[in-house]
Structure 1
């Protein structure tokens, strides 16, 4: 595909519409610098920088032709493939707001996201459309579904106008977009409530690309490989690392322990990305020749325990860099390989300020644990709030600092170490899980009276999901039956691994369940374990 003269002429006619940190400006600058060099690939299709510019303008044209306007929200239920990035670029060019949804979302969680986002259009892979049809459509704003791939007999529903993904249209000029205009709404699991839609402006992704790419040492010609899902910040920001640093991003469909190093060799990757649980999984497999045949020099590896890092580097020849960032913030900590210290998130990156504080937002001494709060020097390098949740926004950004909810320790030499989460959240298989959302599904079972969900330690460096259940009087329930009830209503990674049934759960005087007591007890000899039951969850 060649960059059309139309797009170039439209840019020349409207220079005032482009800010240096918006997606249209970044695409145009990349096309001008290295338009013929590869920018993005899903393993079967490759886009150059010029291709990406044209794809953005043409997909924006098809969105506009179907009534999507600047500021409209477009939901996206799609895995790692070119259509995902095509919709992201099209929305960003038009000034619409893309809402990527975890493809494992089901039931109440998915219904909440579609309602809260206000999206009237959903773009979805054909095999995922049935999970939308299973929802109650009565109060959802959703009106239309565009289906990627061939629609099936189950793809259509009388509740929504359903058509195949329209072809790209004639290119259109970029919308009037500023650095602070919303680019995406990314949903993170709530810690004590519903999932929050994080409003991410255009400039935030520019700074993700600059800061993370800088720490990894990304240079022109690098090949970045990720098998992490594009609907999360980690992988989506890797596209911007490639965009602003003249590199090439290759995405794999999903993580495969047996195929990970093969993918690094086949893509000729020089930089890659792993999560905490992936490293012990890879180290637990027999060594293969491709563990040393790749060209990867460094990997972004947040949350990998320090004792695994040296073993992984010695065995595979890949330096691991930890760091700290969240959907609401940016790549605020890390540093390059020379500054890396196993077991630490690194030092504060330039352009950010941090404090470690007590419950009154007063700083604690170095070496003492407290909550990490953050600020940024550059405008719009952090998210601008939570969609439709003004109270939660004020709470998180109180006193003009973003409150992470994470307990950390700052050492006297400026290195930060993660301790634990203050929030009632669970981190499993690289996913954030809201205990509240899991509890709501459990409580919807007719036999369940009370339910408490919390994290217990995993051998893979993250968490496992445990639930303690109180049954209604006279009811009996087999653990596996409860798991099967949860399976179509929750993402597979949120289905509890451990189940205990108790007649009475510990409560405060005002009736709130005391989860800290349940955590202290944890897994016992009588706890039912899904892993040893022989049943395997369906990962769709």
Structure 2
């Protein structure tokens, strides 16, 4: 498998990189050792102004591994991490990998039954929790959990929680030799958002993140002189992948606490970042802000921003001087679909990457012709470059990997040139009056209105017990818009049957910590007293 550009880039990143990491060395401890020998005291990562060099990363990994071992953690054991973007998160993650344990990062917003399920399902021996999130644990009541010990990050009341000893995270100086992990061993279990059922723990092997780093760095053209900046949460695949990009290429990663539209450009400039990472919804948010001298007062050349509607690509690049790279990947897969900037087509995810195969299939897994929508299924050529299944959920693993292809749950179209276009999540498709409606396509029209900052489209049930189209709209600051005016904008731009019946203006959309809109919350809330109904208003849609 050749995942890198065939020609040497301006940054010095070249096609020779994969051969310098033998297949058996595609584990995090082996990568840390090899890159420490190569880059020494150069900065690898900076989180909240706390830096770790390549040498530091090795040393801290060995020290934390020793502390974990002293706490009773053994190779193969799980360690749950509930922590925001702090250097301690990286230290624990590296220590787990060094010891051969499994890191289980948890979304810091998890609460109640979802959190209880994750804690029970992962069967972790140790919980490492930032002090400000301890209340989420105590809020579960007197539950029977698997933890034998709890470490806190930051000052907190220590002693015992649910009769489990609780102490502040130890800072030992003893170092432990690295466990001889294999590329197939699980390095992390990441839990899905669980929007259609219980959250599933995705088992991610060492080699999967190696290939995440290679594939992403290739498409972003990252070299050792680059400075990467992310404000996305470390407990998700996107930011973890960014760490591997820096580790593999010799670049430096800067991690900010969170995304701030008002402070984003100053952050890029302050850290002299050359590459950054956004989610699709963040691009229109940044474009909605008033023009500022900060817009191009930075050195950033490219952003990985999957899912950005086509109409925003040129506007973003022209205003901010940053190219947008689209693509496709999920926690279970890898950066499996994507194209180099010169080969991109705005609105398309790109072509399948070397080392992966993709099909578009119908409900019976039969491949559909180009131009016809269906579910995207993916499999890999390289061993362990995708997830190995769902932890403790064998039936869900079999279901998702049916016929030995991973079923993404995404509806896409492949064109004759091999480019894939995202339509919507299978569960987000709306069927009205016998017609299939793509929520994503309706959203693209809505966010094209000059007064709209963000939009989410979802189905609600009508009096006829079928789907009706509802839109939750976030307006730009200081503007006013009537629902009828918005539908006037929609009518010439979409089929009549896709024009929303229900419109509700909201301050913000419910999102995960990673900025993903939680449509299940909107569906559960449905029509409210503040919702505008075009049928009640007497608004007519022209066929």
Which TM-score band applies after superposition, normalised by the shorter structure?
0.7 to 0.9
SS at match of 1:308: helix
Q: What secondary structure sits across from 2:296 in the alignment?
A: helix
Q: Whole-Å Cα distance in 1 between the matches of residues 89 and 135 of structure 2?
A: 19
Are 2:378 and 1:374 equivalent residues in the alignment? Answer: yes
Map 1:45-444 to 2 at 5 A.
Answer: 45-152=50-157, 157-423=161-427
Q: Is the partner of 1:333 in helix, strand or coil?
A: coil
* TM-score (ref. length: structure 2): 0.77
SS at match of 1:348: coil
Structure 2: distance between partners of 1:469 and 1:392: 32
Aligned partners of 1:158, 1:169: CA distance in 2, in Å?
A: 30
Mapped partners of 2:373, 2:23: distance in 1: 44
**Residue 477 of structure 1: aligned partner:** none
TM-score (norm 1): 0.78
Distance 1:20 1:152, change over 3 A: same
**Is there any run of 5+ residues in structure 2 with no aligned partner, and where?**
1-21, 431-438, 448-452, 464-509, 536-543
Describe the superposition over 1:151-206 as per-residue Cα deviations: whole angstroms up to 9, x where unpaired: 148x8534321110111341111112100000000001235320100000000000
- Within 1, Cα distance between the matches of 2:327 and 2:514? 27
Shift of 1:463: 3.2
The 3-state SS of whatever aligns with 2:210 is helix
Moved over 4 A (4+): 454-462, 464-470, 490-495
User: Does the residue aligned with 1:423 lie in a helix, a strand or coil?
Assistant: helix
User: Structure 1 residues 500 and 233, CA, compared in 2 at 3 Å: closer, same or farther?
Assistant: closer
Shift of residue 40, structure 1, vs aligned partner: 0.3
Contact kept, 8 Å, 1:276 with 1:304, in 2: the verdict is yes
Distance 1:270 1:357, change over 3 A: same
Alpha-carbon distance between aligned partners in 1 of 2:338 and 2:72, rounded to the nearest angstrom: 43
Q: How far apart are residue 71 of structure 1 and its match? A: 0.4
Q: Which runs of 5+ in 1 are unaligned?
A: 1-16, 427-453, 471-486, 503-521, 528-540
**Residue 8 of structure 1 corresponds to which residue in structure 2?**
none
Q: Contact 1:277 / 1:462 at 8 angstroms: preserved in 2? A: no
What aligned pairs does 1:454-465 form with structure 2 within 5 A after superposition?
457=443, 459=447, 463=456
Pairwise CA RMSD: 2.9
Contact 1:276 1:461 in 2 (8 A): no
Quote how far apart the aligned CAs of 1:467 are.
7.8
Output the CA distance in 2 between the equivalents of 1:316 and 1:362: 44
CA contact (8 A) 2:143 2:162 kept: no
Query: 2:385, 2:323 → 1: CA distance?
Result: 27
In 2, distance between residues paired with 1:273 and 1:419?
Answer: 22
How many residue pairs align between the two structures? 448
- The correspondence of residues 445-484 of structure 1 with structure 2, limited to 5 A, is 457=443, 459=447, 463=456
Whole-angstrom distance in 2 between the partners of 1:315 and 1:45: 32
SS in 1 for 2:317: helix
Distance in structure 2 (CA, Å) of the matches to 1:491 and 1:132: 21
Change (3 A) 1:277 1:142: same
TM-aligned CA deviation for residue 45 of structure 1: 1.0
Q: Bigger CA drift: 190-199 or 218-227?
A: 190-199
**Do the aligned residues in 2 keep the contact of 1:187 with 1:195 (CA within 8 Å)?**
yes
Structure 2 counterpart SS, 1:240: helix
Question: 2 CA distance for matches of 1:523 and 1:326?
Answer: 34
Equivalent-residue separation in structure 1 for 2:85 and 2:232 (angstroms): 8
Counterpart of 1:11 in structure 2 is none
Q: The residue matched to 2:374 in structure 1 has which SS?
A: strand
Q: State the 1:101 CA deviation.
A: 0.4
TM-aligned CA distance change 1:462 to 1:137, over 3 Å: farther
Q: CA deviation at 1:226?
A: 0.1
Question: Aligned-pair distance for 1:526?
Answer: 9.8
Contact 1:466 1:497 in 2 (8 A): no
Distance in 1 between the 2:138 and 2:234 partners? 24
